[in-house]
Structure 1
Amino acid sequence: MRAIITLCFAHIKKRKIQNVLLAILIMLSTLLLATSVTIIMNTSNIFEKTHHDSNGAHQILTMGKDIHNPNTVNNWWQEQQGVSASNLIPYRNLSGFTANGAETPNDLYLFMMNTPKMPFAIDRLLFSESKNQDYPTEGTIWIPTSMASTSNISLGDAIEFNTGEKAFSLSVSGIVVDLPYGGPFSNNARIWMNDTDYHKQFDTMIGSEQYMMALRFDDYQQSANYWIEFEKFLNGPYLESKMEYVDLYSFYLIINKIIGFIMIAFGVAMLFISLFIIGFSISDAILTNYKTIGVIKSLGLTSRKISVTYVLQFALLSVVSIIPGLIASTILSRVIIESSLSYLKSEKHLTIIQDIRITMLLAVIILVIVILTAFIYSNKTRHVEPVQAIKYGMSEFANKKLNRRLNNSNRLSNFVNLPIQLQIGIKNITKNMKSSILIIVLTAITSAILVFSAVMLNSFISIKQNTPAFGYDSSHVVVSVSNDATFSKQQFEQFLRSDERIKNHAWLDQFTGVLPNEPNQPLNIKVDTLEGSFDAAGYETISGRNPVNKNEISIGLNVAKALHKNLGDIVEVYIEGKQHHLIVSGIYQSIANMSNSARITADVIKFYNATYSASKQSMINLVDETLSDQIVDDLNNNFKSSVKADTQQTLLDDVFKVVVAVLIIPLSVIGILFITVTFIIIFSVSRIHVRKESGTYGIFKSIGMTSNTIRWSITSGVLFLSGLGTLFGIFIGIKLIPLALQSILLEYGLLELPLAINWPITIGLSLLSVVAACLGCWVSTKIIAKTSPRILLVE
């Protein structure tokens, strides 16, 4: 045993730099894997904890007075056993607000709630900032964390709202976690008002009051049975808006699901690279010490005991590496979770669970994998024959193979008559095929990560380039009507038609549609209704076409999947309580509402309401898009009392800046880690080769070659290999990784992720892997410059 321990520590001391670099590699693998596990585990747990603490709703129902009687609906649910139903909460709709002197984009629709006394029975509000209060005091409001974060609103800030008839200002006295309407990508926000302020501002406002109620089931799995009974009570389907638990849940998790997937995939890749390096190091150590092993075996030490020295060496390195990796993962995972789930932060912190059992299990798995790898590769000592080892310094077969490969490379060099520097580079590649393959694989993975990160971030930053592929329109300017009483559609359209800068426009409304889905619950979806051309507005489909006629409908991807419908099928849909049978003309993907939506023309509504005219939102295309800001200013100045105009770019940036802010930290960390790993591994591999070929380089120096010439020759081979790896990496980053994400994206209504590629930035970042590889090689060969030819020859 003493001999084994002595040999083990001798191996560690002999290759200090190589062992330190390998330890760093194992640590980084542990960091990525442990971080991804923590993120995935906590993402669901934190949402579930928040949902539990708030006694959260499983369903949210919104109603007016035109289709169902809200009191009748509420009374029925209040009487059910196994269901908790909130009281009806009245609210009025507004669009947009002004905070800190800056107007917000008009894509945020506000529910101005008449706040009941806290605590609510279900769907409670959790205070993120300020002390718990029974209700907002007069002149103040509570706002959700999502609105506070995206608009940089703090406690005490004044927010101005405009009803179209008048403007009023209220100060923020509370920032609350509001699960149903406070998540990422939400274009709705509940503003919680004092009862006195509510009646003072809205009693005289034109339009009807709406009502909201929340349902929580003792057993959510039984909700379908309750709805069967409820629809029997209604003598038909529930025809107004219903938000399901899955809708609340999904968008809180989408970003972390993507981050977790990326970190697991790249953590596993880094672990495999670590294992390859362990195998490479052991194989190299065996070849380098072949004679020594032969002598030791001839003295009586068995192959098994020699093998144990390598296993013990890498087991010790793993233990030393895994512990700091686990510690660092707690910090990195907290940073990522805090940024991605900030909307769920109550009392200024998130309770992040670090399950010691899972952490230890992961550590044990990594340690076992490393030990097994070391054992498998160290088993090669069984084949060491003392006589051959002492005679050739390797097996006789390996000696013949090496001579044959050197002869082939010499013939290749002579045939093409290359300069001596390139010949050295080619010999370095052909003589060390395993390390050459490693360099290609490593730079391919690193460049793939850098390319994917660049493309992913650019796709969200440049969302305007691909808005139709995300399910949005591609119009240049969006105008929302804020005051129906003062708005004249005729005057507005006359202004548009007289302006030569405007190419075309369309009007968009949104209704709640109900699609019966036997034997499951009916689908309550958003139905986009357009007065104009969907194609001209820039909407796209992934199959078929947008609706043109009054008997056609285009449906979202997840609606088609749920109903098992395809092009040409008939869909039964209720809109405003009226039944329609429409032909599916197209299927589209959309991240908004997770493709649980549909598109129809305004003619469908006019079929039962001849006087209907869409007048909620206008989408305008210009002859010259660069005039968008100018048109927005003109529209806001000319129709100040009734509309609010924004560029489409402004609206999209407001929605997707959250994604960019959350993704930039983990993608940057992963990219930096792999660049570092590339440098470390290629430094280590090149250092091994320099030691093995020290005699050859000593001869080159003794016949007049400079140290820099030799170093450039070696680096040129690495440059060629890393360049080849980068080409593969660009393909993997643009094609294969997004394809692997498809299973996650499909859940959120996207068949494929629309990519916007900035080629100069993408190629520039991919070349960082080449720079890291060449720099690692160049630094590792510094020993050639420092050492005299005589010493090199002796070594």
Structure 2
Amino acid sequence: MTAVLTLCLSNLRKKKFHNGMIGLLILLSTLLLATSITVMMNSNNLFTDMHKKTNGSHEMLEMLKGLHDPDQVYQWWNKQDGVSTSKLLPFRKVGGMKKEGEPSSTELSSLTLYMMDTPERPFVVDELLFAQGKESAVPAKGEIWLPTSIAYLYDLAVGDRLEFSTGNKKFTLQVSAVVVDIPFGAPFPTDARIWMNHEDYAQTVQGIEGKEQYMLGLRYEGYSSSSSYWDKFEQEMGTPFLETKISLEQMSSFYLIINKIIGFIMIFMGIVMILVALFTIGFTISDDILSNYKTIGVIKALGLTSKKIASVYLMQYIFISIIGIVPGLAISRLLSDLIIKNTLSSLKGIPVPGGLAESLITLIVGIFVIVMVILCVAYYANKARSIQPMQAIRFGMSETDNSKLLKRFGAKQNSLLAFGRAPLSIVLGLRNVMKNRKASILMLLLATVMSAVLVLGFVLLYSIGNIKKTAADWGYDSSDISLVVVNSSSFPKGEVDQLMRSDTRIKNIGWLGYVNAVVSDGGATDLDVDTVDRKSMNFSVTVLDGSYDEVGYTTIKGRNPKNKNEISIGIRVAKQLNKDVGDTIEIYIEGHKQSLIVSGIYQSISNQSESARIIADTLQVSDPDYGDYAAAFINVNDPLDADTIVSEIGEKYKDSATVATMQTLLDATFKQAFASIILPMSFMGLLFTAVTMVIIYSISRTNIRKESKTYGIYKSVGLTSSRIRWSVTRGIVAVSAIGAVLGMVLGVYFLPVILRSIFLDYGIADLPLIINWGAIISMACFTMAAAGLGTWASSRVVARTSPRILVIE
């Protein structure tokens, strides 16, 4: 045992730098794996914990159109055993707000705000958690509670005064608290609930023309039983629920999307990193055995068994693994907290759950890494078993390898890489690559992974940053200008429409409205063989007075509706209803049953593809007077006129509508996604760049030291140090170039395909990425530059050492 320990310590001392690199690889792989799993688990746990703490609703009913009596719906659900209900929450909608004393912000003014008549707490269902400000039963007069989803995103805090408009009048309220509002608190908010004092509500917004609207939260003792309650509701009420119903999956989805993406990438990187670490360990052990073949033969001749020689390597790498794993697990805790706080900003101020479960996960990750290292070391160290002492002492290698080497020397003069048959610098560089094949494979793998990481990160960030180019593929329109109606009662729709159509700068205009639709079991036709066990499905329907194609909406199959008997549906609606292009769908729209033909299927991230599209003529069959349009999409002949038109319309109709270019609105929606993903992607890109450079430096230095005698001879016959170094560097750069090309293919085509599995849950079947080949090739060149710098730095020993010493070594 003393001999084994002595040899182990000797190996640790002799190769401090190389052992340090392996320890760093193990640390980083542990860090990435533990962080990714912790991020995904804690994100889900944080939402689940908050949902449970607030007694959160499983379904949120929004009664907007008056198709049901709100009190009757509330009373029915309040009497059901196994269901808890919130209080019936009256509200009115207003469009946007601004900070008092500051210019109007497009982001804030484009929000849809639900001005809530706050009942006295506790709410029973969907209780509010106070992140800032003093907790109270209701907001005081002149004060409001603001949700974290918009407070943190737009830098609003307790004490700020916010200005609202009902179209014909403005009013200002002060923020007294910032609250976590789970159903409306997800990232990328387009709407939010503003909690008002009852007197302020009655004096300011209750007088808005139109009917008061209501919300009702439902929480089941067992969420899986919801379908049976809705069947009972339909039987007793004589109709399915015809208004808007938001499910728990819809409420939770955007809390988790960014962390799912980051977690996926980090898990992939962590697995790749541990594979690189294992390959490096295997390469190091194999190289060490070959370099010390004669020494090991002598040691075995003196009586040390193969098992004990293998235990030297096991002891060495178990020690290195422990040194790498422990800090990796510790740092992963800090890094995962940082990522979660960055991506779940709406829950900032709420402690991240941890404890036994998280500690157990990190422990399992640590055990997994060390077991993989032990198995790898045991496999490669077992090669020492085949060393025969007599052959090792005589040849310095096995007799078989010696024979192969002699044959190779005899064949060199006919090789294409022989001196005189190719340029000298190419021969030197490629001989270094071919002679050290395992090292070259490792460097090829590193270059491939680094290139794939950089390319994927760039493609994601570039696609989000230039979302306007692919807005239609994400389910948005791609028009130039968006007009949102703030107060329909005071908005002169006819006047605006006439003004737009008479303006020669404007190419076309389309008016957009929203209604609710229901497909129930009772609405199935005889042909719907798969609808026996299907529950009712509620989803939003877009109504367009104009052409979907002109305003930029697209489909992934079929086409947009053009006739009044046609409908285009989202991919999740198509999947749940088992419908395809050409099928007929029986659907309740605004309480009226219609039979429509599916003309197309589309994808949309904004509503997770749980929606449909019809033209205004379809709705006017049952409602000839329909004119409740919420927005208008405008295209201009010259994009340079867009800002001028926005300014003109915005100034003229500022009390009843907000106007902005589509680029501005998309930037406001996606800036949070960009800000959340840029930090972890940049971290991983820099991490892999540094690791690649350091490992290539270490491997190249080992190879150069092994070939020191050869390079000494080259210098003795007149080759300069610079020429030798350039030759070696060119060979490694050539290897990294192959890896960079493979990495480009992985980053552009393979990894996004895997990433699509995450986006499919959000209604995106075809991930719309923008491929900028010029920048992608630059990423590949960066990989080659990193490999070249690492190799050039490692070859300094050739320049610093005299030919005589190199030959002696």
Q: What is the CA–CA distance in structure 2 between the aligned matches of 1:625 and 1:183, rounded to whole Å?
A: 33
Q: Cα–Cα, structure 1 residues 466 and 402, in superposed 2: closer, same or farther, change >3 Å?
A: farther
Alignment correspondent of 2:40: 40
CA deviations 1:712-734 (Å, max 9, x no partner) are: 11101011111111111111101
Q: Cα–Cα, structure 1 residues 309 and 114, in superposed 2: closer, same or farther, change >3 Å?
A: same
Task: Indicate conservation of the 8 Å contact 1:231/1:237, yes or no.
Answer: yes
Alignment correspondent of 1:691: 705
C-alpha deviation, 1:244, in angstroms: 0.8
C-alpha deviation, 1:777, in angstroms: 1.0
Matching residue's letter, 1:431: K
Instruction: State yes or no: 1:178 paired with 2:181.
Output: yes
- Where does the alignment leave 5 or more consecutive residues of structure 1 unmatched? none
Query: What does 1:756-767 correspond to in 2, within 5 Å?
Result: 756-767=770-781
CA deviations 1:24-69 (Å, max 9, x no partner) are: 1111111101101111220111111101111111111111463110
Give secondary structure in 1 for the equivalent of 2:608.
Answer: helix
C-alpha deviation, 1:422, in angstroms: 1.6
Of 415, 426, 429, 2:430 maps to 426
C-alpha deviation, 1:95, in angstroms: 1.2
Of 443, 449, 459, 1:455 maps to 459
Alignment correspondent of 2:135: 132
Alignment correspondent of 2:737: 723
CA deviations 1:65-123 (Å, max 9, x no partner) are: 63110001100111111111122111001111112433334542111000011221110
Q: Cα–Cα, structure 1 residues 400 and 600, in superposed 2: closer, same or farther, change >3 Å?
A: farther
Q: What percent identity do the matched residue pairs reach?
A: 46
Of 481, 485, 492, 1:488 maps to 492
Of 548, 555, 566, 2:569 maps to 555
Matching residue's letter, 1:749: G
Instruction: State yes or no: 1:700 paired with 2:703.
Output: no
- Greater shift, 668-677 or 285-294, is seen at 668-677
Of 201, 204, 213, 2:204 maps to 201
Alignment correspondent of 1:468: 472
Instruction: State yes or no: 1:591 paired with 2:605.
Output: yes
Query: What does 1:336-355 correspond to in 2, within 5 Å?
Result: 336-346=339-349, 349-353=351-355, 355=358
Task: Indicate conservation of the 8 Å contact 1:529/1:600, yes or no.
Answer: yes
- Greater shift, 28-37 or 607-616, is seen at 607-616
Q: Cα–Cα, structure 1 residues 485 and 8, in superposed 2: closer, same or farther, change >3 Å?
A: same
C-alpha deviation, 1:434, in angstroms: 1.6
Alignment correspondent of 2:69: 69
Q: Cα–Cα, structure 1 residues 65 and 489, in superposed 2: closer, same or farther, change >3 Å?
A: closer
Alignment correspondent of 2:683: 669
Matching residue's letter, 1:80: Q
Of 317, 321, 326, 1:318 maps to 321
C-alpha deviation, 1:267, in angstroms: 0.2
Alignment correspondent of 1:445: 449
Length-normalised TM-score, structure 2: 0.96
Alignment correspondent of 1:742: 756
RMSD: 1.6
Q: Cα–Cα, structure 1 residues 137 and 408, in superposed 2: closer, same or farther, change >3 Å?
A: farther
Query: What does 1:270-419 correspond to in 2, within 5 Å?
Result: 270-346=273-349, 349-353=351-355, 355-404=358-407, 407-408=411-412, 411-414=415-418, 417-419=421-423
Of 96, 100, 103, 1:101 maps to 103
Give secondary structure in 1 for the equivalent of 2:607.
Answer: helix
Q: What is the CA–CA distance in structure 1 between the aligned matches of 2:347 and 2:407, rounded to whole Å?
A: 65
Q: Cα–Cα, structure 1 residues 101 and 418, in superposed 2: closer, same or farther, change >3 Å?
A: same
Of 536, 540, 564, 1:526 maps to 540
C-alpha deviation, 1:145, in angstroms: 0.6
CA deviations 1:511-550 (Å, max 9, x no partner) are: 1111125423211111111111111111111111111100
Aligned length: 794
- Greater shift, 694-703 or 274-283, is seen at 694-703
Instruction: State yes or no: 1:541 paired with 2:555.
Output: yes
Give secondary structure in 1 for the equivalent of 2:113.
Answer: strand
Matching residue's letter, 2:344: L
C-alpha deviation, 1:198, in angstroms: 0.2
Task: Indicate conservation of the 8 Å contact 2:206/2:212, yes or no.
Answer: no
Q: Cα–Cα, structure 1 residues 674 and 65, in superposed 2: closer, same or farther, change >3 Å?
A: closer
Alignment correspondent of 2:234: 231
Matching residue's letter, 1:187: T
Give secondary structure in 2 for the equivalent of 1:27.
Answer: helix
Give secondary structure in 1 for the equivalent of 2:703.
Answer: helix
Alignment correspondent of 2:58: 58
Q: What is the CA–CA distance in structure 2 between the aligned matches of 1:612 and 1:117, rounded to whole Å?
A: 37
Task: Indicate conservation of the 8 Å contact 1:409/1:426, yes or no.
Answer: no
Task: Indicate conservation of the 8 Å contact 1:90/1:114, yes or no.
Answer: yes
Q: What is the CA–CA distance in structure 2 between the aligned matches of 1:22 and 1:210, rounded to whole Å?
A: 63
Alignment correspondent of 2:596: 582
C-alpha deviation, 1:299, in angstroms: 1.6
Give secondary structure in 1 for the equivalent of 2:702.
Answer: helix
Alignment correspondent of 2:89: 89
Q: What is the CA–CA distance in structure 2 between the aligned matches of 1:609 and 1:221, rounded to whole Å?
A: 36
Give secondary structure in 1 for the equivalent of 2:483.
Answer: strand
C-alpha deviation, 1:647, in angstroms: 0.6
Give secondary structure in 2 for the equivalent of 1:514.
Answer: strand
Give secondary structure in 2 for the equivalent of 1:592.
Answer: coil
Q: What is the CA–CA distance in structure 2 between the aligned matches of 1:670 and 1:732, rounded to whole Å?
A: 16
C-alpha deviation, 1:336, in angstroms: 0.2
Instruction: State yes or no: 1:633 paired with 2:626.
Output: no
Task: Indicate conservation of the 8 Å contact 1:96/1:103, yes or no.
Answer: no
C-alpha deviation, 1:786, in angstroms: 1.7
Matching residue's letter, 2:19: N
Task: Indicate conservation of the 8 Å contact 1:165/1:205, yes or no.
Answer: no
Matching residue's letter, 2:265: I
Matching residue's letter, 1:219: G
Task: Indicate conservation of the 8 Å contact 1:164/1:486, yes or no.
Answer: yes
Q: What is the CA–CA distance in structure 2 between the aligned matches of 1:33 and 1:443, rounded to whole Å?
A: 21
C-alpha deviation, 1:331, in angstroms: 1.3
Instruction: State yes or no: 1:149 paired with 2:163.
Output: no
Q: What is the CA–CA distance in structure 1 between the aligned matches of 2:216 and 2:289, rounded to whole Å?
A: 72
C-alpha deviation, 1:154, in angstroms: 1.3
Alignment correspondent of 2:524: none
Q: What is the CA–CA distance in structure 2 between the aligned matches of 1:97 and 1:766, rounded to whole Å?
A: 46
Instruction: State yes or no: 1:498 paired with 2:502.
Output: yes
- Greater shift, 492-501 or 593-602, is seen at 492-501
Q: What is the CA–CA distance in structure 2 between the aligned matches of 1:218 and 1:350, rounded to whole Å?
A: 25
- Where does the alignment leave 5 or more consecutive residues of structure 2 unmatched? 522-530
CA deviations 1:369-403 (Å, max 9, x no partner) are: 10110010010011112222223222233234445
Task: Indicate conservation of the 8 Å contact 1:104/1:151, yes or no.
Answer: no
C-alpha deviation, 1:409, in angstroms: 8.6
Q: What is the CA–CA distance in structure 2 between the aligned matches of 1:409 and 1:548, rounded to whole Å?
A: 76
Of 762, 767, 789, 2:803 maps to 789
Give secondary structure in 2 for the equivalent of 1:677.
Answer: helix
Q: Cα–Cα, structure 1 residues 61 and 287, in superposed 2: closer, same or farther, change >3 Å?
A: same
Alignment correspondent of 2:528: none
Q: What is the CA–CA distance in structure 1 between the aligned matches of 2:175 and 2:104, rounded to whole Å?
A: 16
Instruction: State yes or no: 1:215 paired with 2:228.
Output: no
Task: Indicate conservation of the 8 Å contact 2:412/2:418, yes or no.
Answer: no
Length-normalised TM-score, structure 1: 0.98
Task: Indicate conservation of the 8 Å contact 2:96/2:113, yes or no.
Answer: yes
C-alpha deviation, 1:765, in angstroms: 2.8
Task: Indicate conservation of the 8 Å contact 1:176/1:346, yes or no.
Answer: no
